[in-house]
Amino acid sequence: MSRFRTYLSEHFETIFRWFSMLCAGTVLFIMAGMFFNLSWNARLAIHKFGLAFLWNEVWDPVLHEYGALSSIYGTLVSTAIAMVIAVPMSVVIALFLVELAHPTLAKVVGTAIELLAAIPSIIYGMWGLFVFAPIMAETIQPLLQERLGLEKAPGIGVLFSGPPMGIGMLTAGLILALMILPFISAVMRDVFAMVPAVVKESAYGMGSTTWEVTRKVTLRYGIQGIIGACFLGLGRALGETMAVTFVIGNAHRISPSLYDAGNSIASTLANEFAEASEPIYLHALIYLGLVLLVMTFIIQLIAQWWVRRLKKTMGGGL
Amino acid sequence: MKKADNRRRREMADLGIKILSGAAAFIGIFFLGWILWTVARQGVAALSLDFFTKLPAPPGIAGGGLANAIVGTLIITFLATLLGVPLGLFTGVYLSEFGRDGRFGTLVRFTMNITMGIPSIIVGLFVYTVLVLPVGHFSAYAGAVSLAIIMLPVVARTTEDMLGLVPHALREAALALGMPRWRMILSILFRAARSGLLTGILLAVARVSGETAPLLFTAMSSPYWMKSLAEPTANLTVTIFNYAMSPFDDWKQLAWGAALLIMTAVLTVNILARFLLKEKTK
């Protein structure tokens, strides 16, 4: 009896190990399944349009000609706007939290910014459509155009041309910036906090100001971590759906003006999926999803590789 | 003379950056407050007894509520937790206890981190091709599976991290007493890491309960009560999307109410989770 029980418990050990290994394997299965299933269910579109799908600007559900260029363009432009605004802001917010603020204040502000990251994206979308877009249309966009004279500015004037409608590429980029800001600043705060105090103190000892210590010591020391944080934020911005869908305007066109309506891959999927009754339309949409999957996969791959390299050179803690 | 000028310039630059960083932090908080305030103000006006007890009314007819969507969100989130949490826990156990440095463990960890960065809309699309397209209809279980896939890596990662924090001496003591590993994991490690694991689970639940994009292609929505798991199911987030985009003021009002409900739930769970973690570190 006792031998039987020993046998059972030994056996259970193996079962337990295999079961947990099986659970761990599901994530590989899911990842492989995503690529396979999306490719297979996009086969009609892949067969018909091939790789030219990527640089074809036409998206015509009536004549069934589909190209991803306007969606890819919108995804990249809205992400670029978000990164340009969110990255410098995250650096100074992290600086504030780590170097400047009193620890209690830093904790309160830090928590508030983390809560900003927890708000569901659909709420950003609703707020963006009903509250922020009207303000953009009535105040901010005319201000940029007329008061600051950006419409007539050489070179970049075309970015700010056209009627201020509120919704459009610029608004989508700004909301996106607000969404990834807490995400990037949280990682940057951790990177800043990892810089050894001795290194900073020696710079202070030489008479450096806080900003000089940050610029010449902290930023340099943490540059790899900062780049890692940017990649993570980038991946998030590329695939953000609901917040963008509400405010980007959903027009399949490529316009040089940031005031114009556009679309992104995710917003096209969210908007048109219910209308896709024809198989070729559905397959074109899934093909679009596959393009987004490949884009984010590559970004994540680079980010992971980067973070791993970082761990090797700087030790754990990230 | 020149030296003093230089010093002044450096101090001014320093002051400028300090003001800028304070302002940036303030802007972050300002937007948080603004969003919370807007949703609270607009949402409170929509909340009433009808909101929690009635079905949505057709456009043009006043009144109606989102009772079916509230039930739907609860059921879908519950099913997702039921599926995603055990899978995530055991994945974390494998990574921490069995496959820490092995080739398979490294591959799983790497893939898991990438999965965390895959947009939720793609997860929804994937589940659509697996569970909706072959059977020909949207369903609550497809919605639950897509949310579970989003939960899995989050739970697995916190589990691995939290088990990693348990001191080795505890493991050794348990094994030295002749305890099998599974017993050691379930009754020693899980107990030692209890509040950390719970925090991870709560954060994962909070994260998926606000997800919209994956449910668009899986649970979809419905104006009726759900009768089974195998049919399109009303849920709060997709309802917000549909109603907020509609031209009817009544519906927009309901959407604000739903937004308030979801936001309150998500933030409450988040704060609860933080509180738990703080208790633990004390």
Position A41, amino acid: N
Q: Does B10 touch chain A (CB under 8 A)?
A: yes
pLDDT the model gives residue A318: 45
B173 touching chain A per CB within 8 A: no
Query: What are the CA-CA distances from residue B179 to residues A198, B167, B174 (Å)?
Result: 46, 17, 6
Distance from the A156 Cα atom to the nearest Cα atom in chain B, whole angstroms: 25
The reply to whether residue A240 touches residue B119, judged by beta carbons under 8 angstroms, is yes
Closest Cβ opposite residue B267 in set A115, A124, A289: A115
Question: What pLDDT was estimated at residue A314?
Answer: 62
Residues B32 and B144 in one domain: no
> What average pLDDT does this structure show over B52-58?
86
Residues B40 and B57 in one domain: no
User: Which B residues 100-159 touch A at CB under 8 Å?
Assistant: 104-105, 107-108, 110-115, 117-123, 125-126, 129-130, 133, 149, 152-153, 156
- Please report which confidence band the pLDDT of residue A1 belongs to, taking 50, 70 and 90 as the band edges: low
CB contact under 8 A, B182 and A41: no
Joined together, the tokens standing for residue B193 give: 């890491």
Residue A6: pLDDT above 60?
yes
Which residues are CB-neighbours of A184 under 8 A, at least 6 positions away? A86, A87, A90, A229, A230, A232, A233
Q: Tell me, what's the pLDDT at B7?
A: 83
* A145: DSSP letter: I
Q: What per-residue confidence (pLDDT) applies to A316?
A: 47
Print the domain residue range for B12.
Answer: 2-46
User: For position A293, what pLDDT does the model report?
Assistant: 96
Alpha-carbon span A54 to A282, nearest angstrom: 17
Residue spans per domain, chain A: 2-41, 46-314
Q: Domain check: are B97 and B170 in the same one? A: yes
**Radius of gyration (Cα) for chain A, nearest Å?**
24
Q: Are residues B133 and B262 in the same domain?
A: yes
Please report the pLDDT score of residue B2 as a whole number: 63
Q: Give the span between the Cα atoms of B118 and B141, in whole angstroms.
A: 21
- Complex prediction ipTM: 0.91
Tokens of A289: 């999803």
Note the pLDDT tens digit of each residue in A138-184. 888 888 877 776 777 776 777 787 888 888 899 999 999 999 999 89
Q: Which residues in chain A have their CB less than 8 angstroms from residue B259's CB?
A: 122-123, 126
Is B79 found in the same domain as B14? no
Tell me the residue ranges of DSSP E strands in chain A: 59-60, 65-66
Average pLDDT (A4-20) is: 81
Which of B31, B115, B121 has its CB closest to that of A241? B121
Q: How confident is the model at residue B280 (pLDDT cuts 50, 70, 90)?
A: low
Residues of chain A with pLDDT > 70, as a percent, come to 96
Query: Considering only alpha carbons, which residue of chain B is nearest residue A279?
Result: B133
User: Which residues of B are less than 8 Å from A111 in CB distance?
Assistant: 274
Subunit contact A33:B126, Cβ cutoff 8 A: yes
Q: What is the pLDDT of residue A297?
A: 95
Chain A, nearest residue to B11 by Cα: A209
Q: Predicted confidence band at B142 (pLDDT cuts at 50, 70, 90)?
A: very high
Q: pLDDT band at A9, cuts 50/70/90?
A: low
- Is the pLDDT at B14 greater than 50? The verdict is yes
| Residue B41 and residue B94 share a domain | no
Query: pLDDT by residue (tens digit) across A64-109?
Result: 899 999 999 999 999 999 999 999 999 889 988 988 888 899 888 8
Query: What are the backbone dihedrals phi and psi of residue B56, each rounded to the nearest 5 degrees, phi first?
Result: -65, 145
pLDDT score for B75: 95
**In the predicted model, is pLDDT for residue B140 greater than 50?**
yes
The string of pLDDT tens digits covering residues B18-34 is: 899 889 999 989 998 99
Please count the structural domains in chain B. Answer: 2
In the prediction, which pLDDT does B281 show? 58
pLDDT tens digits for A193-206?
888 889 888 988 98
Q: Do A112 and B117 lie within an 8 Å CB cutoff?
A: no
Residues of chain B with pLDDT > 90: what percent? 62
Residue A218 binned pLDDT confidence (cut-offs 50, 70, 90): confident
**Are residues B90 and B22 part of one domain?**
no
Residue of A nearest to B155 (CA): A24
Residue B221 confidence (pLDDT) above 60: yes
pLDDT tier at A130 (50, 70, 90 boundaries)?
Answer: very high
The reply to whether B140 and B32 lie within a common domain is no
The overall average pLDDT reported for chain B is 90
Give the closest-approach CA distance of B250 to chain A in angstroms: 15
| B17 touches A: beta carbon within 8 Å | yes
Residue B46's nearest CA partner among B262, B265, B250, B263 is: B250
Does residue B29 sit at the A interface (CB-CB below 8 Å)?
yes
Q: Which residues of A touch B164 (CB under 8 A)?
A: none
As a whole number of Å, the end-to-end CA separation of chain B is: 54
Specify the CATH superfamily of domain A46-314. Answer: MetI-like (1.10.3720.10)
| C-alpha closest to that of B197 among B80, B264, B266, B280 | B280
Does the pLDDT at position A225 exceed 60? yes
> Of A299, A262, A271, nearest to A172 (Cα)?
A262
HSE-up (13 A, CA, CB side) for residue B221: 21
Q: Alpha carbon B69 to chain centroid distance?
A: 18
Please report residues of A whose CB lies closer than 8 A to that of B157: none
DSSP B207: H
Q: Are residues B18 and B106 in the same domain?
A: no
What pTM was computed for the model? 0.91
Same domain, B22 and B87: no
Which has the higher per-residue pLDDT, A213 or A285?
A285
Q: Which pLDDT tens digit goes with each residue over A295-311?
A: 999 999 988 888 788 77
Do B238 and B156 fall within a single domain?
yes
Radius of gyration of chain B (CA): 24
Chain B residues touching A300 at Cβ < 8 A: 113-114, 117-118
Which of A297-311, B167-181, B210-224 is least confident? A297-311
- pLDDT at residue number A317: 46
Which site among A100, A126, A209, A247 would you substitute to test the B interface, given the most B Cβ atoms closer than 10 Å to its Cβ? Answer: A126
Q: In angstroms, rounded to a whole number, what is the distance separating the alpha carbons of residues B269 and B119?
A: 23
Same domain, B275 and B157: yes
At residue B138 the predicted structure's pLDDT band, cuts being 50, 70 and 90, is: very high
Residue type, A23: C
